[in-house]
Amino acid sequence: MDALAVPEDRRRGWYLSLMAPNTKGPRFAWLDPSRLYCNHQALSDCVTDLLQPFQNTSIDLVAGIDAMGFILGSAIATRLGRGFLAIRKAGHLCIQTKEQAYKDYSSCQKLMEVRLDVLRAGVAAIAIENSNGGRWIKDNYTSSHCVPDELQAQIDRQQLDSFQSFGSRGSANEPEGMSSPVGGSLISTL
């Protein structure tokens, strides 16, 4: 597969085929989206799809959770002409922050932190995230993801049919409940 090629037929979610399955075991997400980011059209189409529900929404700021949220969040912020707020793993910012516990894509409990000088009442922000908190965001806020309806069942069972050519992904040791690196990426108005 040529990761930089752009197909003529670019249906919603075509770029998901650029992701690679986990071959390293349970410490890693079940999909690797990094090849998608290398293809300019794939990244652009992914951003377009994620922004679809927010076409008529006023957005002041885009926030992204370490680390995939940094990539998609900064791409979305650039597209919107807005600033980007990095929500970091705790212990990386040298300024006053607020910390919050969360579970990442591998269900590991972690702390994230955000700077306090940017967020204030009245700021309309969207958050790009890839953790188990995505289910909570999806249930409580306007959200978006880039998985076409016809692929959702494959994402839910963590086995895309397009991965058959990759062989076994080593799922025997993989924990249940991991979210998709891109399919589970939710954008939410906060």
Section 78-98 average pLDDT? 92
User: Do the beta carbons of residue 55 and residue 79 sit within 8 Å?
Assistant: no
- Model confidence at 131: pLDDT above 70: no
- Examine the pLDDT at 189 and tell me if it is beyond 70: no
**Total-model pTM:** 0.72
CA–CA distance, 83 with 58 (Å, rounded to integer): 13
- Which of the pair, 134 or 23, is modelled with greater confidence? 23
**Alpha helical stretches, state H, the chain:** 34-38, 40-51, 68-80, 133-140, 152-156
Q: Per-residue pLDDT tens for 147-164?
A: 667 766 766 666 666 554
Confidence of residue 44 (pLDDT cuts 50, 70, 90): very high
Per-residue pLDDT at 155: 65
Distance CA 55, CA 42 (A): 20
Count CB neighbours of 172 within 10 A. Answer: 8
Mean pLDDT over all residues of the chain? 75
In the sheet that holds 186-189, the strands lie side by side as: 97-103, 109-115, 83-89, 61-65, 125-129, 186-189
- Which residues on adjacent β-strands are paired with residue 97? 115
10 Å Cβ neighbour count for 55? 6
Q: Quick one: pLDDT at residue 186?
A: 37
- Of the ranges 22-26, 97-101, 142-146, which is most confident? 97-101
Residue 121 C-alpha from the chain's centroid: 25
Which candidate, 85, 89, 86, places its Cα nearest to that of 109? 89
